[in-house]
Copies of this chain bind each other. A is one copy, B any other.
Amino acid sequence: MRLKAKPLGLDSGGRSVVVLNKDDAGEMGVLALGRVRVGFGGRELTAIVNTTTALIGSGSIGVCEEVRRALGISEGDELEVEPTPPPKSLHSIRSKLRGKKLAYGELLDIVRDVVEGNLSDIEIAAFVTALHAFGLDLDEATGLSMAMVETGNTLDLDRPLIVDKHSIGGVPGDKTTLLVVPIIAACGLTIPKSSSRAITSAAGTADRAEALMPVNLGIEEMKGVVERTNGCIVWGGSLHLAPADDIFIKVEHPLSIDPLLLPSIMSKKKAVGANLLVVDIPCGRGAKVKTIGEADLLANDFMELGGRLGIKVRCAVTYGEQPIGYAIGPSLEAREALGALMGDRAPPDLIDKATDIAGILLEMVGKGDGKALALEALRSGKAEGKLREIIAAQGGDPGVRPEDIGVGDQRFTIRSEGSGYVLWIDNASMAELARLAGCPRDKGAGILLHRKIGDRVKPGEPLFTICAERATKLQQALEALEDMRAVGVGERMEMLIHEVRERALAKRAVPLDR
């Protein structure tokens, strides 16, 4: 069928999408979400069909920007349009919908079609939902990880030993990576760290690092930094390591399911060539993983999958009931981390966690008492020096001081009404307040804690300060604060957490930031 092109002036997320009038679609026997081959000027591609009864008349075809650009189409051009079967990978998705185990070749087909934009949202959503419902076994997790590596960039460092660390996230203020990378690199190991930005949290490691240095490096720039300094802290988004993950996560997020957690993480580690990995699993009521039993099961999965992929994995199950250190928000956290490396008012929990994780990595390569070595790297200033090397290599100012990092000057301090101990600090409320105050886009926004769990507090004493760059944002955070129970103060014998009077909609406790 020959149809006149009508550019829609819209992109469709990397997918080739065309819009047909229902009559023309019916004539060809194509339904919405079916496929057509579209040919013009000697080029052709397969597009996903949407249908309409209005706006695109019979005889015309709406084309998204992806199709317009690929075929070089102008308004009114005559396109050759023919029905064509859906991609072979859809058969594999249908197999998974029937509960069948998928082989590597099938998973590779699916992941490749996801990356190339050949599958519709519905098909990807069904695949992810089926993985969630039927589960995926170790073979499938391995196959998916390899398929995700195969369809993206890889970092090819000419080094025999490459180490990495990863946190499954969920705890606000977790700037551990900003300390672990320079400690490890200062001890002579290679650690090419790629990190994510916040999706639903106050700050991702890439956001924190960006307060100190550029993080949007390409894969060749990343390689150069690591070859010079043994380490780096860059944003994963511009590296295209396992790019399928970015597409899967768009579907997983609205559904609050995360069946690809393990393959997503491990494929990125494989893609940078890691042989040794420590996975941090924060554990506690306000963290992603609530109990130590759950954490241990997840740790087993990481270790087994690592074994299949040739990555030796150890896991650190860490205390995740409250924020790490005292600062939440990109710039506030960068300040705190830099201060800690400089030996300046270092929060003890941050130092402990960073040296624990660095210590495990050091012991994995046979370096005796890892924790002691890590603490020594901090104390001696070698880790600080290494971070400044990395900052310089990534294009930042190696002389940066904590007080150079700008922080929002719109501030409000929340004070304790009663007297007693801080009984709990709610991670989700802290993240929400920081986001309302402007995080992660306003880098200087965030929260400064004045007390942590177990600290004594008297009436009128400060609990935490909300910082914002803009007064309107501060106002929004303060308004939300009224319905929140962000910090609990009381005596240690007080047993009631809260009373439930009517059916409450439980909030999601799983921030999907990886």
Contacts and interface: CB of A to CB of B under 8 A. Distances in A.
Interface size class of A (residues with CB under 8 A): 35 or more
Contact of A441 (B19, B26, B505): B26
Nearest to A94: B256
A173 interface: no
A195 interface: no
Interface stretch (A85-93, A137-145, A175-183, A334-342): A85-93
A203 to B, nearest CB: 13
A133 B99 contact: yes
Contact of A121 (B52, B125, B199): B125
Contacts of A52: 10-11
Interface in A5-60: 8-11, 13, 19, 26-27, 29, 31-34, 50, 52-55
A122 B255 contact: yes
Most buried by B among A53, A86, A120, A122: A122
A256 B85 CA distance: 14
Interface stretch (A224-232, A246-254, A316-324, A451-459): A246-254
A62 B9 CA distance: 11
Contacts of A123: 125, 254-255
Given A97-B133, A125-B126, A125-B129, 14 more contacts: A8-B9, A9-B55, A10-B62, A13-B32, A13-B50, A31-B199, A31-B250, A32-B250, A33-B253, A99-B133, A122-B124, A126-B255, A129-B129, A133-B133
23 contacts: A8-B9, A10-B10, A10-B19, A10-B52, A10-B62, A11-B55, A33-B250, A34-B254, A54-B65, A86-B254, A90-B254, A94-B255, A97-B129, A97-B133, A97-B255, A97-B257, A121-B122, A121-B125, A126-B126, A126-B129, A129-B129, A129-B133, A130-B133
